[in-house]
Structure formats: structure tokens, C-alpha cells
Amino acid sequence: MRRSLGTALVVGTLLAAINHGGDIAAGAVTFGVLWKVALTYAVPFAVSLWATIGALRQRRPT
């Protein structure tokens, strides 16, 4: 969980700045923009968590 949160924080911040930085800087933050920013953080978190779970399952003896 901690690694996934860290990944989401770094990657999400970079993607939010790239994709929504103009709206944020202009003060044009609407509910739609906030929703997209939230998804910008959620996607890297989910991908990182999914990859970690997959890696742990492969290492576990059967």
C-alpha cells in the first residue's frame, strides 16, 4: 500500500500538472476538473497496487 501511495503521489502530481496545470493556474477549477484530477491520482495507484499484488502472487510457493 505504501509503495502504491508513493507512486500515485509522484506520478499523479506530474500527470495532474501536465494535464490540468493550466486550469489550476487559471483558477478554473470546477467539479469536472477536480474529478479528473482525482482519477489522475487513482489510476497510477491502482496500476501500482495491481502490479505489486501480481508480483507477490508469483513469488508465493504453490
The domain segmentation of the chain, as residue ranges, is: 2-59
pTM here? 0.85
Residue 5 CB-density burial (10 A; 0-12 exposed, 13-18 middle, 19+ buried)? middle
Q: Is the pLDDT of residue 16 over 80?
A: yes
The pLDDT value recorded for residue 62 is 64
pLDDT of 61: 74
pLDDT band at 37 (very low <50, low <70, confident <90, very high): very high
